[in-house]
Structure 1
Amino acid sequence: MAKVPPEEKYKGKGKRKCRICGTAKAVIRKYDLYICRRCFREVGESIGFRQY
């Protein structure tokens, strides 16, 4: 059996992780943020988003 490189081994939701905390749950990918919703609530205003 051929060896598969680690970057190609895992695909899907588990591969997308939060840049801040590293969790793979509830990741916001819009605008290439890749931040989970919990971290987004903490840093959203500092990165230029306005909370309505």
Structure 2
Amino acid sequence: MTTSDPNKVLNQIKGKPAKSIKFQKHNLPKKRAHGKALKKCRLCGRNGAHINKYGLDLCRQCFRDGASKLGFKKYN
């Protein structure tokens, strides 16, 4: 499951400044310094099963889909 993007809602209410200010005050996520929510998959945005090694920044499902394109080989 991916996290929701607050920019979608901000684009919808950009014509209403009072609602926009209230939304930004109460609903925008705070900046994370560390933890699980900091790392997202580059392709799908998923938080879980993250592979950060070699600077991949992919979840395991997206890694399996594109591993051969990245140069990884599957051994038996």
TM-score normalized by structure 2?
A: 0.55
Normalized per residue, the structure richer in helix is 2
> Over alpha carbons, which structure has the higher Rg?
2
Give me the identity figure in percent: 46
- After superposing on structure 2, the runs of 4+ consecutive aligned residues of structure 1 that deviate more than 4 Å are none
What is the CA–CA distance in structure 2 between the aligned matches of 1:13 and 1:48, rounded to whole Å? Answer: 27
TM-score, normalised to structure 1, is: 0.78
Report deviation, 1:46: 0.5
In structure 1, the gaps of 5 or more residues are 1-5
Deviation of 1:12 after TM superposition, in Å, equals 1.2
RMSD (Å) for aligned C-alpha atoms: 1.6
Q: Is 1:44 aligned to residue 56 of structure 2?
A: no
Can you give the 5+ residue segments of structure 2 that lack an aligned partner in the other structure? 1-27
